[in-house]
Amino acid sequence: MACRNHESGIVVRVAARPQTIIAFAIRPQSRANEAFTSGAHGHQHTRSERDRSPRAGRQRRVSPDTIVVADGGVAWLTQEPAARIRISDEVLERFPSFRLRVLYAFGIRNRPSDATSREWLREGASRGLAALGGMRPAEHPHVKLWRQAYSAFGAKPSAYPCSAEALIQRVVKRGADAVPGINCLVDAYNAVSLAHLVPIGGEDLDRLVGPAVLRLATSKDADVDAATAADAPTPGEVIWADDVGWTCRRWNWRQGPRTRLTESTRNAYFIIEGMAPALTETELDEAARELAERIGAAARPEDLQIVRLV
């Protein structure tokens, strides 16, 4: 099944039934597969410095119809993107209403914040305020479910709000310009997060060591990953982590610096998270598609792919 966004011309192919995967026909196989599988043997970059630099006369970009939504159940059995991003059984069992989309962007050219990305932030702030309709952020149905999830693993929501609540709370207090520009990729996902009141994060795929797994922290997590902030995860806390250590604390509350997106990032992934039933599958897909459009405009990726994990 294909869905076209009439403003952008982007076509998103969606698996018509479970256990069906759509072929990624236009992606350059040799490069994308390296990005999916690197990291299992320690930190590696997936391309040489020559490959990272623009080549004279090499102007080919993937056409707009290459954004693909595939069923994660099949992709997990392959070396496609879902092999790098996983959800532990214990998280799925404790939070069955959790939903996740992952957007992969390969061959990107990130750049500093500019007038366009700052306008995205202002637009996203305005749409987020409209979605609140005058209610406090904590009263919004989707934010409520995130607050319940945080309470369930021992985090006080008023002290540790999910990333979407933290962003829109800034806007409520300080206005549409409250969220600062960081770089075009970060501005893009913050703008979509504000507009849809959905937690979204972005990470450098080449900085991952092994897979990124959404799991519960253990006592061992307090002693690893000295590259991140000093406050260590507490046992039972929901974290994103790779083979080195945590990459995001308290689910989506605070990202660690090791895998953050910078202007040197060339391959990235974006986590778009939802809680049913306050957010429908269609609404989560729309947030992922909008982010794909923003990333396509901001960073001229060679390939964009959306994977539905759960």
Per-residue pLDDT of the chain (310 residues; tens, 9 = 90+): 444 443 333 333 333 323 222 222 223 333 444 444 444 333 333 333 333 333 333 322 333 333 443 333 222 223 354 468 999 999 999 999 999 999 999 999 999 999 999 999 999 999 999 999 999 999 999 999 999 999 999 999 999 999 999 999 999 999 999 999 999 999 999 999 999 999 999 999 999 999 999 999 998 887 665 445 567 899 999 999 999 999 999 999 999 899 999 999 999 999 999 999 999 999 999 999 999 999 999 999 988 889 999 9
Q: List the chain domain ranges.
A: 2-17+36-41+61-308
Identify the CATH class of 2-17+36-41+61-308. Answer: alpha beta
Residues 154-183, buried b or exposed e (16+ Cβ, 10 A)? ebebeebbbbbbbbbbbbeeeeeebbebbb
Question: CA-to-CA distance for 79 and 307, rounded, in angstroms?
Answer: 13
